[in-house]
Structure 1
């Protein structure tokens, strides 16, 4: 029987990337709107990427199997 192809979760493929070591890279939240209230230092900190928490990594990797 042929191996079943898994569909990639379209929301997850836009939000997460895998590094060479297998970590899940993500963007920080709260950077999409109401940027006039947030001070420059806070917005600059939100620009930097970070890694997903260990408790969520397995679920995210299942959603992006071919990345």
Structure 2
């Protein structure tokens, strides 16, 4: 049976790491930023790890 194709949207959003984890971008920082505090916007910078509960579904993509 042939391999499944990777979902192209998931390939742009997630990055697999050498330790087996998956890195993802932080949400809630695209628009409606005027009401968010500077501290809140600063904390939304950078990346996060995919939670263990979502790991199986992200790997399937």
Q: Deviations over 1:19-67 (max 9, x none)?
A: 110101111110110111111111111112110110111111121xxxx
- Which contiguous aligned blocks of 4+ residues in structure 1 show a shift greater than 6 angstroms? none
Instruction: List runs of 5+ in structure 1 lacking aligned partners.
Output: none
User: Any unmatched runs of 5+ in structure 2?
Assistant: none
Superposed CA RMSD in Å reads: 1.1
Residue 27 (structure 2) aligns with:
29
More relative contact order, 1 or 2 (CA 8 Å, 6+ apart): 1
